[in-house]
A and B are shown apart, each in its own frame.
Chain A
Amino acid sequence: MAASGETSLENTHVGKKKRLPKRYWEVTDEEGKTDGKKQKEDHVQTPKLTDPKIKQKNTRGPRTGGGNVISGKSDQFPGSAPIPNEKLKKFKRGEKGKLPPRPHHKLRDAVVRSEAATELAQKQNARYDLLLPEDAGFLEGDEDEDTCTISQDDIADAVDITSGAKYFNLVLSQFGPYRLDYSKNGRHLLLGGRRGHVTCLDWQSKQLMCEMNVMETVNDVKWLHTEAMFAVAQKKWLYIYDNRGIELHCIRKFNDVLRMQFLPYHFLLATASATGFLQYLDVSVGQEVAAVCTKAGRLDVMAQNPHNAIIHLGHANGTVTLWSPNQKEPLVKMLCHSGGVRSVAVDKTGTYMVTSGMDKKLKVYDIRSYKPLQSYFLPAGASCLALSQRGLLSAATGDVVQVYRDVWSSPVTKPYMAHRTKGTVWGAHFCPFEDVLGVGHAEGFTSMIVPGAGEPNFDGLDANPYRSSKQRQEWEVKALLDKIQPELICLDPGQLSQVDHSTWEQRHQDKVQALGFDPLAKEKFTPRLKTKGRSSSGKVEKRKKQVAHEDQRDVIRQTVEDRMKIEKERKEKENKEAAVAGQKSALDRFRK
């Protein structure tokens, strides 16, 4: 039950306390009034669309009229419980359709039906929203106390034991610096040290799943769709291991990979290499989907837009480019920094992109309109940007990790939290569904508590942190069935629900491109070879001419016929009109 994009945006920020859902008997006067109005409006609006029979039915609904209760007592709360407007707004899906003045009855039916369905879905969603009771927390300092000065130890002491245990350090000074990745449900942690140390663990129970040294440089690590497999970008090739550390594949097509992103709904592993190639690997079938030469040098800055599965790449010339596997050139190229781009992050709703560059600036862009929203200056620049599910931003400068709250809407002047790690930060990720930020650095790994980072309400059918292995298996099958094809990746994911406005020629061109030949192209006439001097060049030419002449005649005949037809129709129409005009109506006698 994901909310539609726009409305959920407003709810991404922590700090605002979610009010408890108002029960319907607590309706204040004002709300009651508005509700009443709303109902009235509904009643006014529906008859326009529905035919009288349906209207009758609606009004005759069993609970709408309070009067027909036989028991004698009138219902104190007639009708169903009202739904608060803001809840309805949260689940609104676009604007209502308007009917033309005199619609065809079938059109009217279709529109009315779809409107009814949409409204029903919206109302039910709004009603069931009360089943998401969990609230995001946040950190609140005393008076005159900055939240960023509160140390992790203090927080860990203050909270309960289970939460306190989420702050821990792994001292791994031998093989660092570390990159990390959390699995989609936030249960498992994968660590990859630059000097070959790869380990994965259930970080909450601190249970080690596997640990190994690949004896090679490790550039990046990434979980695949489940915690059973992960990909490691090693010095030369890309490797895939299972959760016991057994090497499953060595993919020789993917070389010199520096960064990876996994697109969970497409089952695509996108890799960016030092040679400037952006490659997509379909992990469900094990095939390379696309390989794009970006022609932009070494690609070591990469992010994905979780909203539309577009890959963002940052380049040394200050630009950020957006890529889909379907196009060999960047969909968008934005100049973001006057120095090289150090890090890019995109928020969950696909609205904001945060970039940091060598010019020590941190910029926030609206990537729907590609316009800059905020620009911050960090004295030492920022690397390793990460955005949490609730919109917290973590930025690392040297060995200090800072977490910012709400960087896009209002300018922030100081961080929400800050923490100094033991070594230079190499990778940072927020743990999904947990208030935890994992930081990989030169001296190991630090898991720090960031109140209000994770989404408190998880969708059990999508990413369930508490799922059993059986559930995981079932989820895997369902997810594979629901897999989205890579062709559908485009900037606007709603494009599929739009009618293709392109002209016939454009579509034909697409077809030609897809088929490799033009199915409508006319076959060229090649005269048959005849013997006894009948295939002399003069004769052949003559035959050709004959055929061409015949074709031309056909065309001419066709056009003439068409023209005649049109002319005839026009005449008929004229006649009809004349007849209508010539008819005398009963009122003509009063004409002068």
Chain B
Amino acid sequence: MIVFWVVQGGSDDERKHCRLLEAISSLGGKTRLAMSESELYFHGSLPTGEGDKINLSDLIGTLDKAPTALTATKKQLKNLEHNHTALDTPLTRKETEQIQRVVAFEKTSKEVSRWQSVVVQNQKAEQLVFPLNQEPSGPKRMEHVVSGWKAQTPLEQEIFNLLHVNQQPLHNPVLTQNEEATMKAMSLEEAKIRRAELQKVRALQSYYEAKARREKKIKSKTYHRVQKKVMRKEYLKRFDEMVKTDPAAALEELKKMELSRMKERMSLKHQNSGKWARSKAIMAKYDDGARKAMQQQLEVNKDLTMKLVIPTNEEDEDEVAEALPDFVNDAEPILDPINPWMRGKLSTEPAAQEESNCLVPPAAGPGDVKAGDGPDLLREEEEQVEETEEEAILRGFEERRKLRRAKDAVEVAPVVMEESEGKSSDDDDEVVEISEFTSLYRGLVKDHVEPPVEPPRAGADPCVSQGEGPALLEEGLVRVRTLEDMELLGQDVSACEPAPQTTQTLSTEQTEPQSATKQADGKRKRKKMIDPNEVLTKEAKVIKVPFAPTAVEDVEDTDEQRFIIKEAFAGDDVISDFLKDKKKQESAGMPKVVDLTLPGWGEWGGGGLQPSRSKRKRFRIKVAPPPPRKDQKLLNVILSEKRNSSVAAHQVSQVMFPFTNPAQFERTIRAPVGHTWNTGNAVQKITAPKIVTQLGAIIEPISREELVKGENQAVTGKSNLRSDQGPQQKRRSQQKKKHKHKKN
């Protein structure tokens, strides 16, 4: 009975429990026993016996014999008996405690999570200033004071209301907004016209869109092809018109076209490597149409990839000059066979040249090293035509030179000028103007060598011309100079000799076989001579000097001088030395093949027996080639590939957390921070401390009011970096500075 009360109370307070125990103890012995039993049950430790439920009537049955004092209770219990909704068994303490804990946690976490935004803000903030809520001292700006002001008295409020309703402008009180709006409004007719216009535009647009969509859907390839053709034609027509009417715009357009062509050239379109092209290539054997299509494609490719040659005279001249190594232009015609220095110029060592030849694919042949941009098959086909062009140009040079010579005879220049942009001019300049130095060389050379004799050219076949190579090789030095050049020089020497007839086309070659062979020879020669490894090619500009240097070595004593120079530079060939050095470095950087072959395993071994080839092949470990050298394309440079570990020790080796790749990190530290590169103000801002505290001030913990504010805006975090700050901010920063000084 008492048990029920307790349950109804719904609590297991210690106090109530105590009271219960007292009540029990006041009862008689019999009931006490029953009570204790029930109490045990309440605590959940007593089994309920045979699993049957205890009914209320069983409990009440004992009350029947009890005195009448308990009638009220009895009544109540009777009522309860009618009421069949039995209460659940109470939860165990453990469980209730758990539930309570959960609820409490939720409540508290809700409470605490209100601070979350503030915490995050503070974490994110660039700078925290403590104590919080510091009012910046000092005078405030007028505007701030006024804008912070609020209408407080009822009269003020009323006035402000009135102003607000009328939208009366505060600052520039000429017109109210309504008035302005009416001023700006359009008339009805205007509005109608405008509307109609807009409608029309919209309709047109929709028509156009519909049309475009329809056309886009058409799958017919022929249709598109035709369409494209038409477009192109139209475009060309328009362009032609434009050329007449508006040349400037046409030029623009031309540039655009050129650009698109360049882009196409750069892209790998029309390279016959696409799926379509490959399929056509397979089909071309059997299908005429495919062959044709391929042909077309090839043509397009050719068109696109062809290098544009602008056929002006000057350009060609340049090209010729570029094709030749520069010392071709500034050397004396007479050679000292032994010493390259005697010529005052460089020469490539034949070995180096051969190396360079080997670089070219074998199909091209040993002599086929070309001057400019590597082997170009298309160009090769056209070379014959170019040849004649070149001849024409050369003739032009000849004429010009004659003119100039006439001029030179008049003028006497004090100083040697070396003209190397056009190879034509320098040779006769040399004749006229001789510096001391060159005269020294010349004097040297005179004694030694007979005047240069042109190698016999009439029967020049490949064998003969190649036979020349070894002969020169034996001499150890090769004068790199094209045959055409030599030809010209020969002409200079015999000045009155007429220029060779070189304008004939190849079809008329037979009429003058000698010149033709000469041409051919020259071409071959040129190919061979021009070394892509030529390293010191750069046109030299002449500088006119106002004063001729006086402190020049005495020229008289040529013999002695010659001897000294010869001795000093004996066996000295700068370029080949350098190239050798470079080769050596390159080969040192190459990984070596590891040979792990052991003789005798799986086969006969012994003296004079080599492991079989297959075995050797199997046990040779080839190491992957290293990445290309940095100086691969710089012929006259050797860059050290050694790692600079001394700097590496100071470098950041791993990218830290928020950054995901090194580039991001590098960009954030790209700007210098120090005083040397920045203004004082900027340095201060960039290097501002993360937390600023006021010396001597008590830093209170953040209060609940801050929280309310923080929900609206950041409490403490403030963006420190503002590019152009107002005076007030300046003041604030100054204040900060003061704090810092105090701290220090």
Contact = CB atoms under 8 A, between A and B. Distances in A.
Interface of A: 1-2, 53-54, 57-58, 61-63, 67-72, 74, 79-80, 93-97, 100, 104-107, 109-111, 113-114, 116-125, 128, 146, 148-149, 317-319, 324, 326-327, 329-339, 359-363, 370-372, 374-380, 397-400, 402, 411-415, 418, 420, 424, 459, 461-462, 487-488, 490, 495-502, 506-507, 510, 513-514
B339 to A, nearest CB: 13
Nearest to B685: A120
B670 A379 contact: no
B637 A370 contact: yes
Given A2-B677, A497-B669, 16 more contacts: A1-B676, A53-B714, A57-B719, A70-B143, A96-B667, A106-B657, A114-B667, A114-B671, A327-B644, A329-B640, A330-B640, A334-B638, A338-B536, A377-B418, A487-B650, A501-B662
Contact of A111 (B542, B652, B668, B722): B668
Contact of B546 (A338, A412, A415): A415
A420 to B, nearest CB: 5
The 10 A-B residue pairs with the shortest CB-CB distance, nearest first, are A398-B549, A398-B551, A97-B667, A499-B662, A80-B724, A114-B668, A62-B726, A107-B658, A487-B646, A106-B658
Contact of B650 (A333, A400, A415, A488): A488
Contacts of A359: 344-345
A500 B344 CA distance: 47
Contacts of B653: 499-500, 502, 507
B678 A415 contact: no
B637 A125 contact: no
Contacts of A510: 643, 645, 648-649
B540 interface: yes
Q: Chain B CB within 10 Å — which of A58, A329, A333, A411 has the most?
A: A333
Contacts, number: 299
23 contacts: A1-B678, A61-B725, A62-B729, A72-B172, A74-B172, A94-B671, A124-B682, A327-B640, A327-B644, A337-B574, A338-B346, A338-B574, A339-B341, A375-B539, A399-B550, A413-B541, A414-B543, A414-B544, A461-B675, A488-B646, A488-B647, A497-B666, A500-B652
Interface string B106-139: 0000000000000000001010000000000000
A581 B654 CA distance: 38
Given A2-B677, A70-B142, A399 B549 contact: yes
B645 A363 contact: no
A459 B676 CA distance: 9
B634 A371 contact: yes
B723 interface: yes
A107 B659 contact: yes
B652 A400 contact: no
Nearest to A325: B646
Interface in B574-604: 574-575, 577-578, 581
A454 B366 CA distance: 55
Nearest to B726: A62
Q: Chain A CB within 10 Å — which of B141, B330, B417, B678 has the most?
A: B678
A335 B535 contact: yes
A499 B665 contact: yes
B696 interface: no
A120 B652 contact: no
Interface in B652-709: 652-655, 657-660, 662-672, 675-679, 681-682, 685-686
B31 interface: no
B97 to A, nearest CB: 34
B155 interface: no
Nearest to A419: B547
Contacts of A123: 723-724
Main secondary structure of the interface of B (DSSP, over half): loop
B416 interface: yes
A124 B724 CA distance: 9
B437 interface: yes
Contacts of A379: 415-418, 435, 437, 545, 548-549
Interface residues of B, number: 105
Contacts of A370: 631, 634, 636-637, 639
Contacts of B146: 70
A339 B441 CA distance: 15
Contacts of B494: none
B221 to A, nearest CB: 36
Contacts of A62: 141, 143-144, 726, 728-729
B151 to A, nearest CB: 15
A318 B544 contact: no
Given A97-B667, A106-B657, A117-B686, A507 B545 contact: no
B642 interface: yes
Contact of B572 (A113, A120, A317): A317
A93 B659 contact: no
A362 B649 CA distance: 39
A197 to B, nearest CB: 21
Q: Chain A CB within 10 Å — which of B171, B642, B681 has the most?
A: B171
Given A114-B669, A125-B678, A490-B647, A54 B547 contact: no
B651 A334 contact: no
B541 A376 contact: yes
Contact of A498 (B142, B344, B666, B714): B666
A459 B675 CA distance: 11
Contacts of B659: 107, 110
Contact of B545 (A111, A118, A402): A402
A57 B721 CA distance: 11
B36 interface: no
Q: Chain A CB within 10 Å — which of B575, B639, B714, B725 has the most?
A: B639
A495 B643 contact: no
A68 B143 contact: yes
A412 B543 contact: yes
B176 to A, nearest CB: 16
B224 interface: no
Contact of A94 (B657, B670, B726, B728): B670
A379 B124 CA distance: 69
B679 A128 contact: yes
Contact of A375 (B540, B545, B671, B719): B540
Contact of A333 (B546, B638, B652): B638
B345 A338 contact: yes
Given A376-B543, A379-B545, A380-B552, A331 B678 contact: no
B171 A72 contact: yes
B744 to A, nearest CB: 17
Given A118-B671, A120-B686, A496-B651, A418 B547 contact: yes
Interface in B400-442: 415-418, 420, 435, 437
Q: Chain B CB within 10 Å — which of A106, A114, A327, A363 has the most?
A: A114
A120 B721 CA distance: 7
Contact of B645 (A413, A462, A513): A513
A54 B717 CA distance: 10
Contacts of A79: 724
A496 to B, nearest CB: 6
Nearest to A149: B546
Given A61-B722, A370-B634, A499-B665, A93 B671 contact: yes
B544 A413 contact: yes
A156 B622 CA distance: 73
Nearest to B665: A499
Nearest to A2: B677
A104 B656 CA distance: 13
B721 A113 contact: yes
B147 interface: yes
A153 B171 CA distance: 68
B538 interface: yes
Interface string B530-569: 0000011011111111111111100000000000000000
A326 B724 contact: no
B273 interface: no
Contacts of A413: 541-544
Contacts of B549: 379-380, 397-400
